[in-house]
Amino acid sequence: MATAKKRGEMYRVRYDVYDENGKRHQRSVTAPTKKEAERLAALGKVSASKKGSLTVGGAVTRYIESKDNILSPSTIRGYHQIARNNLSAIRNIPVSTVTNEEIQTQLNRLAEDHSPKTVANTRGLITAALKMFRPDLDTKVVVPAKIKEEVHIPTKEELALLLSHAGKKETELAIKLAAFGGLRRGEIAALKSDCIHDTYISIKRDYVADSGNNWILKERPKTDAGYRDVPLPGEIIKDILALEKSDQYGVLGLNPSQIEQRFLKARKRAGVSFRFHSLRHYFATSLHERGVPDKAIAKIGGWENVSTLQRIYQHSTKYSEDTAAAIMRGIYDEVCP
């Protein structure tokens, strides 16, 4: 509940109420004392909640709004997409009467033509919203098992081929910053002159997409771990400093979408098939294979913890498999020549 604020001789409390569609409306009450104002505001919220039956769709919308300043813009954008497209069977069911069977039916329908990940994300959003507005409901539903994604990590030959077809210097540098520094697209686009040093670059800004898919410069990285200094070969630093500086999108003069578009064109010319983000996979796995401690990789690459790095980025590559096979064969030959 919001705290009452004194206005002259009276105390006022502003509070939000939501209609059956989850639309927010602001109300206010005044009283001679702070305690009385807060009591009336609490009664007003209760009264408003009884005037209509909050639907599942409304509850999900209200839940998303409550997290608007907490979660990343991309997460909020994904939540709104789920709310629009994935709740057709239960959207108008009152929160007070919805059952596990109805939720399961919705998820079963969704699973017919959506990936297990999409179904799981939908369940997570529904469960979180119901926990906020219907805490008495023990949500027990099942979703399809997630399909293990086969992540392709570029080989050094593929990376060299891609670089040879990069074309413009800005595209080449974007690829190198991701592959040899572990930078994300938004971090690359946000590099300003004050980030470039003799032997390293500093990451302290990021570009993120808002709800309208417009790129917004944030004066901080995606996470606290994103603040970091990334050592780079002198050749990369020299090439960056040689560029004409751009005021709009940092030293490369490219926003994240433009980086992606140029990468896709270079990838097509090179005849390789992997995502731009796979260059970050290459960065982490290459260091791991050469014995760099996980904590150091996580710090340089901006991962919040080592477990995330191990779970997502240290995938087996053909190189490491072949190396392991040769070592195993050698061990066998020592015993059974």
Quick one: pLDDT at residue 72?
A: 76
Q: Which residues contact 175 (CB under 8 A, 6 or more apart)?
A: 159, 162, 163, 166, 263, 266, 279
**Domains annotated on the chain, with CATH:** 5-52 (no CATH), 57-133 (1.10.150), 156-320 (1.10.443.10)
Bridge partners, 14 (sequence order): 28
Question: Are 15 and 44 in contact, with CB atoms under 8 Å apart?
Answer: yes
Question: At 86, which helix (H) or strand (E)?
Answer: none
Cα-based angle 269, 274, 280 (whole degrees, multiple of 5): 115
252: number of CA atoms within 13 Å, CB side?
Answer: 26
How much is the pTM? 0.66
Q: d(Cα 34, Cα 14) in Å, to the nearest integer?
A: 12
Q: d(Cα 90, Cα 126) in Å, to the nearest integer?
A: 10
Burial tier of 327 (Cβ tally within 10 Å: 0-12, 13-18, 19+): exposed
Quick one: pLDDT at residue 73?
A: 79
- Tokens found for residue 194: 């004050």
Residue 306: helix, strand or coil by DSSP? Answer: helix
Going residue by residue through the chain, which has 337 residues, state the pLDDT in tens, using 9 for 90 and above. Answer: 467 788 788 888 887 766 655 566 777 888 888 888 777 776 666 555 544 578 899 999 989 988 877 787 778 888 999 999 999 999 999 888 889 999 999 999 999 888 888 999 999 999 999 988 887 788 888 888 766 666 778 989 999 999 999 999 999 999 999 999 999 999 999 999 999 999 999 999 999 887 677 888 888 887 888 899 999 999 999 999 998 766 567 899 999 999 999 999 999 999 999 999 999 988 988 888 888 888 888 899 998 888 877 766 555 555 566 666 677 778 778 767 6
Q: d(Cα 329, Cα 103) in Å, to the nearest integer?
A: 53
Residue 230: helix, strand or coil by DSSP? Answer: strand
Nearest to 21 by CA among 49, 48, 51, 56: 56
Quick one: pLDDT at residue 312?
A: 60
Nearest to 237 by CA among 176, 287, 187: 176
Question: Are 221 and 183 in contact, with CB atoms under 8 Å apart?
Answer: no
Cα-based angle 279, 281, 283 (whole degrees, multiple of 5): 70
Which residue spans within the chain are E strands per DSSP?
5-7, 10-18, 24-31, 200-203, 206-209, 215-218, 228-231
Quick one: pLDDT at residue 306?
A: 83
Quick one: pLDDT at residue 144?
A: 80
Quick one: pLDDT at residue 105?
A: 93
Nearest to 189 by CA among 201, 177, 207, 173: 207
Angle between helices 278-289 and 169-181 (to 10 degrees): 40
Residue owning tokens 């004050």: 194
